[in-house]
């Protein structure tokens, strides 16, 4: 093989082993360079399109997966939104019950703004957590978290309010139970009221610190409130009598009894039978001497019937 620089040609000579039929030819270097350049260009173009096609397929697959994932997240977010709306309705129902209970118990009713537990002046949702999300999903998630936080605060307010109402109702019920607020006997005949009167035995005017009920032997005598029996005695003036200690500074006294069914230290309930009407002690007839003391001061029992 020889090379002619002027014409930039290669001379290729082929000599067989037998030395005969020798063949030779010229090859143009420029043509070879152009041919291989075109061939190399075609290769790279094809390689570029192949790589681009694969990248496009991968991107399309990623997009489909991302779209599917986004759709699932949006569907889940919509389902959560429905659940939060249901929870919001239930909290509104609780708030309505709370208002009704407060009206029933004569407790001040909070205004709607307090029930809504509105919050302003500072950020309550960290939006940076959603920066990597699609705009639609980011907005949806922000609204859901905000709604959830507001419902959580509303539920907290409602729970505290219900507990407060329950405490007040229990206190009121407790006060009713321990306040002498019923008649101590079935008899409605008051023979002597509370206040100044002429003593039926001495004839002198003096203050009567109780109410006397006229009746007959064995008429039932009832505890007028829950409490604990602190005295079961006999007295020259009162005869057989009972004293019961109640809460909130109340005490009651039942005198001139015929029979006593309780003992000292015994707990009694309002309406429980504690004895029977009699004529023991200094009295002009069968009756019940009933007195109420509040904070160590005798008060008119009829104010509590």
Please answer whether residues 211 and 189 qualify as being in contact, where contact means their C-beta atoms are separated by less than 8 angstroms.
no
For residue 230, give the CATH number of its domain. Answer: 2.70.70.10
Band of the pLDDT at 126, cuts 50, 70, 90?
Answer: low
When comparing pLDDT for 51 and 130, which is higher?
A: 51
63 shares its domain with 94: no
Which tops the pLDDT comparison, 152 or 137? 152
Question: pLDDT by residue (tens digit) across 53-89?
Answer: 888 888 777 767 766 666 676 676 677 777 778 877 8
Domain holding 170, by residue range, is 77-178
Question: Do 48 and 152 fall into the same domain?
Answer: no
**Are residues 123 and 195 both part of a single domain?**
no
| Judgement on whether residues 113 and 141 belong to the same structural domain of the protein | yes
Q: How far apart are CA 99 and CA 117, in angstroms?
A: 15
DSSP 92-145: HHHHHHHHHHHHHTT-PPPPHHHHHT---SS--S-GGGGTTS-HHHHHHHHHHH
Could you tell me if 181 and 305 are in contact, meaning their C-beta atoms sit under 8 angstroms apart?
yes
Highest mean pLDDT among 19-23, 31-35, 108-112, 289-293: 289-293
Residue 213 corresponds to which tokens in the numbers above?
């009920």
Within-domain flag for 127 = yes
What is the domain count for the chain?
A: 3
- State yes or no: pLDDT of 124 exceeds 70: no
The region, left, alpha or beta by phi > 0 then psi within -120 to 50, assigned to residue 188 is alpha
Of 2-6, 25-29, 192-196, 292-296, give the lowest mean pLDDT range. Answer: 2-6
How many residues does the structure list for the chain?
Answer: 305
Share the mean pLDDT of the chain.
Answer: 80
Mean pLDDT of the region 298-303:
92
pLDDT class for 41, splitting at 50, 70, 90?
A: confident
Measured CA to CA, the distance from residue 303 to residue 297 in angstroms comes to 14
> pLDDT band at residue 211, thresholds of 50, 70 and 90?
very high
Q: Decide if 183 is inside a domain.
A: no
Same domain, 216 and 298: yes
- The pLDDT of residue 74 is 66
Mean pLDDT, residues 109-138: 59
The mean pLDDT of 12-37, rounded to a whole number, is 68
Degrees to nearest 5, angle at CA 277 with 274 and 279: 130
Higher pLDDT: 3 or 149? It is 149
* Pick from 15, 161, 94: nearest CA to 169: 161
Residues 105, 149, single domain; the answer is yes
Nearest to residue 130, comparing CAs of 120, 116, 140, 119?
A: 140
Task: Report if residue 268 sits inside a domain.
Answer: yes
In a domain, 184, yes or no: no
Strand-pair category, 287-294 with 211-214: antiparallel
| Plot region of 239 (φ>0 → left; ψ -120 to 50 → alpha; else → beta) | left
pLDDT over 60 at 110, yes or no? yes
Check residue 243 and give its pLDDT.
Answer: 97
Sign, Cα dihedral of 127, 133, 138, 140: negative
- Rounded to two decimals, the pTM is 0.56
In this structure, the number of other CB atoms found within 10 A of the CB of residue 185 comes to 20
What letter would DSSP give residue 186? S
**How far apart (Å, rounded) are the C-alpha atoms in residues 116 and 154?**
6
Check whether residue 138 and residue 86 sit in a common domain: yes
- In angstroms, the Cα distances linking 223 to 79, 148, 294 are 60, 53, 16
Q: Could you tell me which residue, 138 or 263, shows the higher pLDDT?
A: 263
**Residue 185 forms part of a structural domain:** no
Assigned domain for 249 exists: yes
Alpha carbon distance, N-terminus to C-terminus of the chain = 138
């Amino acid at each position: 093989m020889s090379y002619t620089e002027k014409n930039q040609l290669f001379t290729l000579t082929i000599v067989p082993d037998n030395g005969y039929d020798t063949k030779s030819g010229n090859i143009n270097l420029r043509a070879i360079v152009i041919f291989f350049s075109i061939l190399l260009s075609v290769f790279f173009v094809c390689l570029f399109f192949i790589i681009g096609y694969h990248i496009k397929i991968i991107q399309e697959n990623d997009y489909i997966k991302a779209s599917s994932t986004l759709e699932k997240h949006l569907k889940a977010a919509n389902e959560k939104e429905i659940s939060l709306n249901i929870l919001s309705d239930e909290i509104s129902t609780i708030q309505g019950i709370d208002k009704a209970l407060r009206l029933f118990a004569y407790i001040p009713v909070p205004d709607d703004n307090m029930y809504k537990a509105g919050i302003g002046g500072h950020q309550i949702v960290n939006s940076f957590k959603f920066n990597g999300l699609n705009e639609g999903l980011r907005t949806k998630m922000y609204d859901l978290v905000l709604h959830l936080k507001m419902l959580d605060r509303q539920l907290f307010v409602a729970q505290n309010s219900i507990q407060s109402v329950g405490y007040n109702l229990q206190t009121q019920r407790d006060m009713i139970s321990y306040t002498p607020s019923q008649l101590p006997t079935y008899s409605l005949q008051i023979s002597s009221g509370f206040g100044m009167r002429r003593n039926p035995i001495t004839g002198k005017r003096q203050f009567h610190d109780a109410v006397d009920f006229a009746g007959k032997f064995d008429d039932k005598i009832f505890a007028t409130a829950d409490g604990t029996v602190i005295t079961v005695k006999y007295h020259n003036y009162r005869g057989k009598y009972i004293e019961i200690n109640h809460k909130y500074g109340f005490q009651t006294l039942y005198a001139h009894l015929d029979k006593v069914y309780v003992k000292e230290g015994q707990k009694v309930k309002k309406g429980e039978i504690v004895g029977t009407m009699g004529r023991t002690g200094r009295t002009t007839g069968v009756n019940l001497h009933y007195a109420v003391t509040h904070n160590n001061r005798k008060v008119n029992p009829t104010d509590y019937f």
